[in-house]
A and B are shown apart, each in its own frame.
Chain A
Amino acid sequence: MRCQKLLAKRVQSFVAASFLMLAGQANAALTIEIVGSGANQIPVAVVPFAGESQLPQAITAVVAADLQRSGLFKIVDPAGITPEPHEPSEVNYQNWRARSAEALAIGSILRRPDGKLEVRFRLLDAVKQAQLAGYSYVVDAAQLRATAHKIADLIYEKLTGDVGVFGTRIAYIVKSGKHYELQVADADGYGAQTVLASSEPIISPSWSPDGTKLAYVSFERKKPIVYIQSLVSGQRQVLAQFKGNNSAPAWSPDGKQLAIVLTKDGSSQIYLINADGSGAKRLSYSSSIDTEPCFSPDGAFIIFTSDRGGSPQIYRMAVSGNGAQRLTFEGNYNVSPHFSPDGKSFTFIQRANGSSFNVALQDMASGQVQVLTDTRMDESPSFAPNGKMLLYATEIGGRGILAAVSSDGRVKQRLSTQSGDVREPEWGPLLKNQ
């Protein structure tokens, strides 16, 4: 008995010491490489803002990099045009038209007496010679990068008509040897923070709709258990710790419930559970594997993976659990469905030609399938909150990396760290107060 107690105590202190490493700065940032571009790129110039050379963070470099990475813009070089314009009155539009720029971002940064920075920014239409947008922000120096993403979002929105997602964040797992970290970073890979570090696997991170929490599956107690962790306080709670496996958390759009997968009644089945861990209710009743639930944006349906027809395919059921219908019919291995933000399509992984696993997109209305990638070992795709890009995990040269592809398949990016395998990404939501 004494021995058992001692064991239990040691296990506890081990858990406390090494599993809960919260919100530390991660040492390796993700770096992004662009490997494709859009068909029609909008030529835009981002002129260095007045006063930014004295700051630790050059705002306009971040803005230009954001726009360029989206694949939808061609960045026009402002070098050599003098004087460098910072106010509309200083703009000689002919200079910019000569360089084919269709739009022009100008601005200035002033240090106020209270130490804060005032960032002024205008977006100008170089063809119509008119202002498209004008904003000013009062921020701390630490917020300059976030401000740059806001400006890039505004330019993106004004020039493409879609919502920008440069200010959003992504979650993913890094595995180095036998060390696992759940990390959160800006969508451009900067500012990586470790949410959880563990010597046992972590999988399936899932963002709460308000972006303040992550649900995930951790094997730290030698079997899969679902946790919810606050990104604000770092505190976490067990969501589901039933007999057998607990996995595949997916938030309902209102953030009040999650769909999860449990094996407590036999094979993997889908359950609904309140976000506080109460009221687990079984939704699917098959003798097969039912897993990877994902809510439709209106909260009325759940799409999921099931092998009830003999091979894993994507199905849809009402959130009551009724009326399951098969959605995929091409190939014998279709898994990991995720709805697009407008609910009109879903992405999933399709095994094609027997050996290659690719990100695919299926239209809900027509059932038409488009394969978006040419990598070979793709996993866990999810949409950016504007539906224009998808983030997924793949493998290059035996190493796990993240990649992104536009929903038309044209723009491709790779995100990798200097060492270790990166996997299990999920793109976070748009934050309401941005």
Chain B
Amino acid sequence: MNKILFSTLLVALLAGCAGQDVKDQSKAGVEDRSAQQGAQTAPSDQKSVGANPLTDPSNILSKRSVFYDFDKYDVKSEYKPLVEAHSKYLTSHKDAKVAVQGNCDERGSREYNLSLGNRRADSVRKVMNVLGVSDSQIETVSFGEEKPRATCHDESCWKENRRADIAYQGE
């Protein structure tokens, strides 16, 4: 399983190195230690990339977003299985790291929303901690209301933006 992850990392890394998107690649909120690791353990089995549970649409691990009510940061029970699945993956893959990114809808204060996004990311981290995931595997970051996924100005977009995303390092 480690090899699968590393090969994914390596592919992403090589793409970043050769490629154009330097800016977005470099610092997605996760400290990038993957270069050394990836380079030391060059994988041979390229076919296994396709079977990555993190990206397999039939696997709950491919689901990455926890949604919240307005001005709330508690992880609702319907998202517990998702966070539990990622926690289980992280405890069995000690080398895997995630960035949990908190987001808010556009209403209210930008600074308060930055703090609220931080609380949302933190709420996911705390559930993961309880389930045995080490803090060294999780970095939290808040984008507040600055990076909306949906850009209309009503509840249909706002509910999409009140969200914490789980992003694996190297993705």
Contacts and interface: CB of A to CB of B under 8 A. Distances in A.
B47 interface: no
B17 A312 contact: no
Interface string B10-33: 000110110000110111110010
Interface residues of A, number: 47
A87 to B, nearest CB: 53
A248 B112 CA distance: 9
A245 B118 contact: yes
A307 B111 CA distance: 13
Contacts of B106: 377
B58 interface: no
Given A203-B111, A379-B109, A222 B146 contact: no
A194 interface: no
Contacts of A248: 111, 114
Given A6-B17, A357-B107, A245 B27 contact: no
B140 interface: yes
B162 interface: no
A279 B67 CA distance: 38
B127 to A, nearest CB: 16
A4 interface: yes
Contacts of B39: 1
Interface string A337-360: 000000000000101000001000
A261 B111 contact: yes
B29 A222 contact: yes
A223 B29 contact: yes
Contact of B118 (A1, A201, A267): A267
Range class of the B interface residue count: 35 or more
A224 B147 CA distance: 12
Q: Which of A245, A247, A292 has the most CB of B within 10 A?
A: A245
A35 B39 CA distance: 64
Nearest to A173: B110
Nearest to A13: B22
B112 A336 contact: yes
A420 to B, nearest CB: 14
A292 B111 contact: yes
B49 to A, nearest CB: 19
A7 B26 contact: yes
A307 B108 CA distance: 14
A11 interface: yes
Q: Which of B14, B25, B108, B115 has the most CB of A within 10 A?
A: B115
Given A11-B27, A267-B119, A333-B108, 9 more contacts: A1-B39, A3-B16, A14-B22, A245-B118, A248-B114, A261-B111, A266-B122, A267-B115, A336-B112
24 contacts: A4-B35, A7-B16, A10-B22, A11-B22, A203-B110, A203-B144, A203-B146, A219-B143, A219-B146, A222-B27, A222-B29, A245-B114, A245-B141, A248-B111, A261-B115, A289-B116, A291-B111, A291-B114, A292-B112, A312-B71, A333-B71, A336-B109, A380-B109, A380-B110
3 pairs of A and B residues whose beta carbons are closest in the complex: A268-B115, A201-B146, A335-B109
